[in-house]
Structure 1
């Protein structure tokens, strides 16, 4: 049996990216995002997903410094070890099984601003960049404070 990876493929800009299915809770149509003042530019606000408030990250803003329009976006709801979050993407296209020999390490993983790119999957006429949501949330400026706040809020709700 192959030790490949099952991934959710999505579009951002004109490129394809993927996140392991193990990190994806759901794919949602974008509903109401509540703006919160003073958040980083890549975070348009928070939204409620299945009764839980989660921060929303605009992946187009993170990568290309431009925001997505709500009508043309989907939200990947992700679970990291620390928190759940929603990532706004252009389109969530498909779920793929990618054989392990198709993954190539990329030197960009050592570049501080893109260390969340862990590999590139080379398929026939496609290149799909793999993203690790754990590294993504650790590497974004301001995300640690937001994560700590969300954890603190969650622990107060359970007391």
Structure 2
């Protein structure tokens, strides 16, 4: 039986998962430095292991509104094909190994705005939406400009 390891996190009252292959670390949001003129879903930058990483507010991406930080808020630091980013989530819950047989494809995921939902993990008493970070980052308006900004910041830091 094939399995996949995922990090499960919560946003609002829903559970979501990302394959651990994309996850670098899970951090408490310490100091997020705001950057003017970036899209609303970008909270700013954080320094993770000496590297500047943009913070993407998942609540804003999914629901179009901001949510206040609280004790359970976490940053899931991810690597994608475009850039590293920190996903701001309501709560990082657990690491779980799930059978690939439990991952179901749902026709609603063909909808362009949610194409990063790649399936639902169907467990006995839970449904967990699986997110592909590469698809998610590519679906966000302005991400190419952010990538260019991050590359420019890295050059300034390196010199």
Matched residues, number? 158
Residue 24 of structure 2 is matched in structure 1 by: 25
Q: Would the aligned equivalents of 1:82 and 1:151 in 2 still touch at CA under 8 Å?
A: no
- Is 1:144 paired with 2:144? yes
Q: TM-score, normalised by structure 1?
A: 0.93
Structure 2 gap ranges (5+): none
Moved more, 51-60 or 139-148: 139-148
Residue 116 of structure 1 is matched in structure 2 by: 116
Q: TM-score, normalised by structure 2?
A: 0.93
Name the CA distance, whole Å, in 1 between partners of 2:127 and 2:83.
Answer: 29
Structure 1 residue 84: Cα displacement: 0.8
Residue 89 of structure 1 is matched in structure 2 by: 89
Residue 52 of structure 1 is matched in structure 2 by: 51
Moved more, 131-140 or 149-158: 149-158
Structure 1 residue 110: Cα displacement: 1.3
SS in 2 for 1:33: coil
Q: Would the aligned equivalents of 1:23 and 1:133 in 2 still touch at CA under 8 Å?
A: yes
Name the CA distance, whole Å, in 2 between partners of 1:126 and 1:155.
Answer: 45
- The structure 1 segments of at least 4 consecutive aligned residues displaced by more than 4 Å after TM superposition are 155-159
Q: 1:49 to 1:120 in 2, by over 3 A?
A: same
